[in-house]
Chains A and B, each alone.
Chain A
Amino acid sequence: MLRGDARGRVPDWGGGHSGRSGRRRRRPCCRGDAGLSICRGFQTEKDSLRSLTVSTMIHSLFLINSSGDIFLEKHWKSVVSRSVCDYFFEAQERATEAENVPPVIPTPHHYLLSVYRHKIFFVAVIQTEVPPLFVIEFLHRVVDTFQDYFGVCSEPVIKDNVVVVYEVLEEMLDNGFPLATESNILKELIKPPTILRTVVNTITGSTNVGDQLPTGQLSVVPWRRTGVKYTNNEAYFDVIEEIDAIIDKSGSTITAEIQGVIDACVKLTGMPDLTLSFMNPRLLDDVSFHPCVRFKRWESERILSFIPPDGNFRLLSYHVSAQNLVAIPVYVKHNISFRDSSSLGRFEITVGPKQTMGKTIEGVTVTSQMPRGVLNMSLTPSQGTHTFDPVTKMLSWDVGKINPQKLPSLKGTMSLQAGASKPDENPTINLQFKIQQLAISGLKVNRLDMYGEKYKPFKGIKYMTKAGKFQVRT
């Protein structure tokens, strides 16, 4: 146990120990410790004693909106009182922003693991030592599934489809063990709602629950059902790359890396066996594959060989790190100055193309969190529209396309709080953009072949580069 951990000797310093007595360590252990002692006090309650020995991966799930209402709860074992969420609310209150709520929160009897997506907290309650990544991955999968089923994942949509949601959750997890998490298979078990089906169901009394065992579930290719039929056979692959970068004041790159994915939409009849090869497979040294990809062939021949799932899926994701010299497609020239004496500051930024391989940069938006001392901004853009929210101090500029002949710029003044000293922190500029028909890493698909079926499919490859977390410090 942790006894004695919190009881530090005083004075508690003398050297190089910054972390020792620091917050990081105290937070989890004190909570845990206090928690354990509390629970000892409460062990008279028979049920809680009992529950100590229950071991389950995920015990319960609570869905909580950003105003702190629990709008859905699902228990895979005995019911855990929703009061357990009080610990979560406490943490939520402490965190300044929803994003900052810690993903693992200890309580006397349970651990709360949460993910925050679409402005909803998905809070899983667990009771024993389980791999937290397991739980968090699963929660993300739940969110993906909802999105897949209902198009969007939001509180009203979940409430509208509460019975389907419940059925899906039950199908995804049994006794805390994941059961069916492939959307292909789930959709065969529980059909997603469509307006037509709802109407038909109402009239005929039929159901949206499949009464056949999903065919793919136990085959060697659990991700694909049998008997798939299409009149038009098509396979599309999107190579999408996101650049994460930090650019310093002077414009040089501090870090840059590319997160790439190949998303596929495959609608092919029967059991097609595909191979996909690249012009420059050596770029891909850090890859994560969909389970359908045969790893051995990748190891030996550097080609992707797989029987695809039916429909949309992510074939692989990859990571090109800084060492491989990531090209930076845009630059930002900035001149932001706060003067000590005056209550006005100057603000000027210009965005221009850098290494774009001749492609156009589109969908550019610039956002920046201005310091608290900035009261308002009076700016003129050379193109696009801009807004400044004086409450959140968020500046955003929707630039649109960059025309290399006439670089977009945003100029003007900032009015600062009178008398206050010059802000300590400089705003960081966040950039969003898109470049069509370009994979910035240079990755190129060589060819796609199909075996196992006789027809000729229609094949398509699309490339796109986007900004991920692209930040320019000023």
Chain B
Amino acid sequence: MTDSKYFTTTKKGEIFELKAELNSDKKEKKKEAVKKVIASMTVGKDVSALFPDVVNCMQTDNLELKKLVYLYLMNYAKSQPDMAIMAVNTFVKDCEDPNPLIRALAVRTMGCIRVDKITEYLCEPLRKCLKDEDPYVRKTAAVCVAKLHDINAQLVEDQGFLDTLKDLISDSNPMVVANAVAALSEIAESHPSSNLLDLNPQSINKLLTALNECTEWGQIFILDCLANYTPKDDREAQSICERVTPRLSHANSAVVLSAVKVLMKFMEMLSKDLDYYGTLLKKLAPPLVTLLSAEPELQYVALRNINLIVQKRPEVLKHEMKVFFVKYNDPIYVKLEKLDIMIRLASQANIAQVLAELKEYATEVDVDFVRKAVRAIGRCAIKVEQSAERCVSTLLDLIQTKVNYVVQEAIVVIKDIFRKYPNKYESVIATLCENLDSLDEPEARAAMIWIVGEYAERIDNADELLESFLEGFHDESTQVQLQLLTAIVKLFLKKPTETQELVQQVLSLATQDSDNPDLRDRGYIYWRLLSTDPVAAKEVVLAEKPLISEETDLIEPTLLDELICYIGTLASVYHKPPSAFVEGGRGVVHKSLPPRTASSESTESPETAPAGAPPGEQLDAVPTQGDLLGDLLNLDLGPPVSGPPLAASAVQMGAVDLLGGGLDSLMGDEPEGIGAPSFVAPPAAAVPANLGAPMGSGLSDLFDLTSGVGTLSGSYVAPKAVWLPAMKAKGLEISGTFTRQAGTISMDLQLTNKALQVMTDFAIQFNRNSFGLAPAAPLQVHAPLSPTQTVEISLPLSTAGSVMKTEPLNSLQVAVKNNIDVFYFSTLYPLHILFVEDGKMDRQMFLATWKDIPNENEAQFQIRDCPLNAEAVSSRLQSSNIFTVARRNVEGQDMLYQSLKLTNGIWVLAELRIQPGNPSFTDLELSLKCRAPEVSQHVYQAYETILKN
């Protein structure tokens, strides 16, 4: 006799029959009937019609029958809210039952019935149960609060259940504590701002005590809760770590991984010199390895997390390469993950072993896996230089197998190897060309075409090869078309005589016969380049390409840090912060590793891409600009590009020239480019007449005009703004402002290290700019900048640098180098830092000059809402080196005549109209006259900035 008999009554009138049985007098028959109902429910049949009959069975002493009815109720109460009310009385009665099992069951079930009317009745029983003498009831009730909160959050708050729940954290029973933590965490998740889990050293201590005694599931809740705590110092962090470490030996993998999360996070706070730090690192490896002998599903999640851990702290698993070797009967999802980690751990020490394994994998059956293995070989070559040769020969062996997809993958990765080690392995090109016909995937075709174009001069029949592709031009994917276009142009530039026809053909195919705007645009650009200036075309198209960086596919450091805080969660499986996939903006809090104080989204630095500046010199720094030139150089690179080649030049500091020669030479092509680097423009010449472009009003956006207190002594100083967010500079955050004090301009910088490694070797350099601003001294960062540390530096500036008009006029492109990389950003400087101290003109001179400057050079502005009188205005302006030459009172209005001089000798004359007597009219009128009218806008902004702060 088994339960399967309940499934057999499928004949007609089943419901009717069940109804009769449910109303039977015999207890046994009733129970059997309820079981039948439940059985139908489990397989998804709708038995909701029996609701009243089942509820009638609820009043019983038989616990099993009661449980079954409860099961039924939970399923169907929602669809029958009115009927469900009938059950309330029984629930309330059961909550008073002497048997704690029944009390708990009743409160638990009631919480699961998501009917508003019922929840009203739930409050009183729940309150009692939360204070029940029996811990089993209390722990059940704790969970019930979370359930109730989910149904009616307001009710829970009004009834004060949250406070009761908080009290339960101090309960004597560890299981109650664990459940209270779980419930609070769940509630807190929907109220990210609330301070529900107010963690302090005392409550942490309680949690750590409960951690040792509660069940495995409770341990997970507690550990996850601990992970949200930020210890006040490294000693507290260490003591928590010490108490969490034993959890690494737990049999439950979820406990282990949650413990790993806590340790990984708190380790951030420990000094690396500490003995304990090393001990902890050693302790992390074995449990992670053990996770890999668990069931495949667990392995998968573990591997995704190990992938993060290995990126963050490669030292943890560097000796454990072998455990990631793939077994042939691993599920495919495990295989692919293992492969990824193998590459991450590959180093010179183990590369031979890794390569032997990868070669083995490349002969397996599973296509996806084989492809990835082949790619992995390429990644090894790029990562470990010493192995490149061996990798290439392995790839050639694989090409010889003639297995179609292997050949194609191999060609794609060989192209990457060429990018990394140019002019080293071209001997293999012949072998590659043999396989030209078998390539049918766009990526492989495009790779092959790139190789042919790049090495066209060494391939005798390059033109024939490319021509053969050209025949089916319109059937190719865009990727291949673009590549073919570029390759043929390259070929033409290298062998112009024989390939003129070919290049004509491809240009007309791309521009006239194509509907694809990308292709058309690129075609036109090439065409124009080739027809106007073939030499320039050569320089652009055949320019030396930056090498691709070694480590590819890394997660961006700030994201990685965030993900480390989410070890063991879905975010860690998808390698995306929860905000990227948790629905409905349930107030996802961005987590960050402890020492990092600011949230990861700092304000974007104002990236005003100067339209006239040559694009592309900062491929990875200013992506918006990168596209155009990048495409022309056919550097459609996803991966990070190592900084532009460094070359020594102009600027008078001993530091390296960060902006590089490539930039200078490119600028040389610009017609407006200003020749000699040491050239300091004379006042008038600095602003050639043809540069009358409208000025951006970006300056005022840059400064927070309403807040921040400017120092009235000395020139106004804007509050520091973030110029380079950490996200864009591998953890280096730069904020700063400009000051002028006692005739010295300086750039006040604040460098914050938000990465995890120490930063050293700082240097700074400016691109040429309108006023020749340049660092007057090297960037002095005396000690290495350790993680989380911030230094403030005042960098004196001179205006003796080389001059090039920028757009907008006051934009400044800056390059900062440290031991990690070179970073670029651009910022706007307020013009008043350029107002010199001897800017007071004498009266006669003023009048003469005013008359002398033509009227079309006069610009009118309004400064709104500035309720200052003439004296205040005058003194305020004077502190910023705007001098009042004369003052007049005309018809109740104060007229101020003012002068100022810029560092490059440009005089600006101003007439400022103030209406002191009229409080409702607080606008000032400003007329500016200057021989270089394009500065007027910026002078006006300077006025506004000074007067309003």
Contact = CB atoms under 8 A, between A and B. Distances in A.
A161 B401 CA distance: 55
Contacts of A246: 325, 327
A119 interface: no
A251 to B, nearest CB: 15
B416 A175 contact: no
B581 A2 contact: yes
A15 B99 contact: no
Nearest to A259: B293
A287 B568 contact: no
Nearest to A79: B75
Contacts of A319: 286, 289-290, 293
B809 interface: no
A358 interface: no
A321 to B, nearest CB: 6
Interface residues of B, number: 148
A77 B112 contact: yes
A76 interface: yes
B257 interface: yes
A18 B552 contact: yes
Given A71-B43, A255-B325, A18 B375 contact: yes
Given A22-B372, A319-B286, A160 B2 contact: yes
Contact of B213 (A20, A102, A220): A220
B246 interface: yes
Contacts of B67: 167, 170, 209
A19 B336 CA distance: 11
B791 interface: no
A211 interface: yes
A330 interface: no
Tier of interface size on chain A = 35 or more
B216 A20 contact: no
B296 interface: yes
A455 interface: no
Given A15-B416, A166-B42, A209-B67, A132 B173 contact: no
A23 interface: yes
B364 A115 contact: no
A369 B329 CA distance: 10
Contacts of B429: none
Interface stretch (A269-277, A336-344, A402-410, A423-431): A423-431
B447 interface: yes
A473 B360 contact: yes
A168 to B, nearest CB: 11
Contact of A291 (B136, B147, B215, B297): B215
A454 interface: no
B635 A106 contact: no
Interface of A is mostly: mixed
Interface stretch (B182-190, B463-471, B702-710): B182-190
Interface in B631-671: 634-639
A164 B39 CA distance: 10
A145 to B, nearest CB: 14
A151 interface: no
Contact of A114 (B297, B372, B635): B297
A336 to B, nearest CB: 14
B573 A132 contact: yes
A13 interface: yes
B64 interface: yes
A16 B570 contact: no
A381 interface: no
Given A13-B636, A15-B416, A469-B327, A289 B150 contact: no
B637 A14 contact: yes
A89 to B, nearest CB: 15
Nearest to B381: A16
A77 B217 CA distance: 19
Interface in A8-43: 9-24, 28-29, 32, 36, 39
A244 interface: yes
A92 interface: no
A473 B319 CA distance: 24
A103 B296 contact: yes
B887 interface: no
B774 interface: no
B143 interface: yes
A420 interface: no
A425 B329 contact: no
B727 to A, nearest CB: 16
10 contacts: A11-B482, A13-B447, A15-B382, A19-B379, A19-B553, A136-B297, A138-B217, A177-B182, A205-B27, A473-B360
- Closest 8 pairs (CB-CB, A-B): A15-B548, A286-B286, A160-B2, A207-B64, A18-B375, A103-B297, A209-B64, A11-B479
